[in-house]
C-alpha cells in the first residue's frame, strides 16, 4: 500500500509551486481535513494572483491606446498635498518604459510607506524620465490650491529630461501645457504611468515634510505631513501657525481672525 504523503510535505510543495493538475486533483480526493485546508488556501491564493495579474494588465490600457496611435513617450502626472494645512503641493511626471515591471503599483494612498519606498526605487531605476514640480505655501495662498496644483504639474512636465508626446493626468486637464492631454478620473488606480507619478509625488512630499519637522518639531509634521489630524490641530491651538501653514485654508484663516479679534478687544 502506498504511504500517503505527509501534510507538511504537501504544504511545502504547494508553497514552492510544485503543483500539476493531476497532483491538485489527487489532493482534492484526500479526505484529511488538513489537506483540504491546504488545498482551499492554495486555490484562494491562486485566484488572488490571477486577479492581481489582470488588474496590472488592465492598468496598461491607456498607455496601449496611445502607443497604438504612435506615441512612445507617455508621461503620467499626479500630485500630492492638495489637502494639508501646511507644506507645498508636489507634482510628478513619469515616463515609464514599455517593459516596466508594475508589480505592486497602485494609487500611493493605498500603499504603505515601505511599499511606496520600494516602488520609488524601482521607478527611479527604470523610468525613462522623471520630473518634479514643487509649489510653496506663498503661491498657494496667493493663487489658491487649484492654481498651485496646475503650476506644480506644469513644472513637473517642464522638468522632464525628454519631451513627452502625450500626457495622462489624474482627473484634470492642465492649462497652458502645449502637449496633448488625457484626463482620467481615479487615474492613479487605472494607469501605471499615473500611479508611478503618484508614488513619486507622495514620497517626495513626505520626505520634504519630514525634513521640515526638524525645524518645527512642535507640530509633528513627520507624523501627519501637514494634514488636519487631531494632533496637528492641537499643536496649532497651542503654538499658532508657522511659515509653512497655508493661511488661505479655513482652519488657519479662522485661527488668525480669532487672534486678531482677541488682540483688538484687549488693545
Annotated binding site: 78-79, 170
Residues belonging to the binding site for a divalent metal cation are 78-79, 170
Question: How far apart are alpha carbons 156 and 94 in whole angstroms?
Answer: 9
| Residue-wise burial string across 115-128, b where 16 or more C-beta atoms lie within 10 A, e elsewhere | ebeebbebbeeebb
Q: Where are the alpha helices (DSSP H) in the chain?
A: 7-15, 21-29, 33-58, 61-67, 113-126, 137-143, 145-158, 187-190, 192-213, 221-224, 230-239, 250-266
Q: Which residues contact 16 (CB under 8 A, 6 or more apart)?
A: none
228 class by beta-carbon count within 10 Å (0-12 exposed, 13-18 middle, 19+ buried): middle
Mapping DSSP onto H, E and C, the string for 174-203 reads CCCCCCCEEEECCHHHHCHHHHHHHHHHHH
Pairing label, strands 74-80, 129-135: unpaired
Q: Look-up: residue for cell 491564493? A: 45
Amino acid at each position: 500500500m502506498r504511504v500517503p504523503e505527509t501534510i507538511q510535505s504537501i504544504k511545502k510543495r504547494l508553497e514552492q509551486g510544485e503543483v500539476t493538475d493531476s497532483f491538485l486533483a489527487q489532493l482534492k480526493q484526500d479526505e484529511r481535513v488538513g489537506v483540504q485546508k491546504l488545498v482551499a488556501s492554495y486555490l484562494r491564493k491562486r485566484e488572488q494572483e490571477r486577479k492581481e495579474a489582470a488588474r496590472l494588465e488592465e492598468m496598461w490600457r491607456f498607455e496601449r491606446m496611445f502607443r497604438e496611435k504612435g506615441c512612445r513617450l507617455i508621461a503620467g502626472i499626479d500630485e500630492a498635498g492638495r489637502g494639508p494645512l501646511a507644506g507645498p503641493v508636489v507634482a510628478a511626471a513619469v515616463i515609464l518604459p514599455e517593459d516596466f515591471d508594475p508589480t505592486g503599483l497602485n494609487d500611493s494612498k493605498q500603499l504603505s510607506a515601505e511599499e511606496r519606498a520600494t516602488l520609488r526605487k524601482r521607478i527611479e531605476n527604470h523610468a525613462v524620465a522623471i520630473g518634479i514640480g514643487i509649489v510653496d505655501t506663498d503661491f498657494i495662498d496667493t493663487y489658491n490650491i487649484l492654481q498651485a496644483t496646475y503650476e506644480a504639474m506644469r513644472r513637473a512636465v517642464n522638468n522632464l529630461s525628454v519631451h513627452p508626446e502625450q500626457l495622462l493626468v489624474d482627473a484634470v486637464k492642465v492649462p497652458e501645457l502645449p502637449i496633448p492631454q488625457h484626463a482620467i478620473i481615479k487615474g492613479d488606480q487605472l494607469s501605471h504611468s499615473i500611479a508611478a507619478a503618484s508614488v513619486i509625488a507622495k514620497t517626495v512630499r513626505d520626505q520634504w515634510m519630514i525634513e521640515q519637522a526638524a525645524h518645527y518639531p512642535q507640530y509633528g509634521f513627520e507624523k501627519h505631513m501637514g494634514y488636519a489630524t487631531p494632533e496637528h490641530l492641537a499643536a496649532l491651538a497651542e503654538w499658532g501657525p508657522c511659515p509653512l501653514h497655508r493661511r488661505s485654508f479655513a482652519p488657519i484663516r479662522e485661527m488668525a481672525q480669532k487672534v486678531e479679534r482677541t488682540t483688538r478687544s484687549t488693545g
